[in-house]
Amino acid sequence: MANPVLPPDVVLITKADCHLCADARDAVGRVTATLGLEWSERSIDDDAELRERYAEEIPVLLVDGVQRDFWRIDEARLARTLRRALGQPA
């Protein structure tokens, strides 16, 4: 029996009052919805470590802990990345 593929961990790192973050939420939501995936959001406003690491790049998109995009989310690239993580043709 084959091991099931675990869904990728998709995390969007944001901050308050960020128009790019709103655009990124929409983009990540569209792509993950088409693939039946969930995603989460973390704010640098609540996390000093994240703020120190990503303050100049917000919003930042992580997939399985790897930074994949920042400022503007490329939906086509995200879809390819997630399909590969799911073992689907990109």
Of 3.40.50.10420, 3.40.30.10, 3.30.360.10, 2.40.70.10, the CATH number of 10-85 is 3.40.30.10
Per-residue pLDDT tens over the stretch 7-49: 999 999 999 999 999 999 999 999 999 999 999 999 999 999 9
Considering only CA atoms, which of 46, 44, 11 is closest in space to residue 25? 11
Per-residue pLDDT tens over the stretch 42-89: 999 999 999 999 999 999 999 999 999 999 999 999 999 999 999 998
Residue 41 β-bridge partners: 12
CA 39 to chain centre: 7
Q: What is the pLDDT of residue 5?
A: 78
Q: Enumerate the domain spans of the chain.
A: 10-85
pTM over 0.85, yes/no: yes
**Interacting residues of 12 by C-beta distance below 8 A, sequence separation 6+:** 21, 24, 25, 28, 39, 40, 41, 42, 59, 60, 61, 62
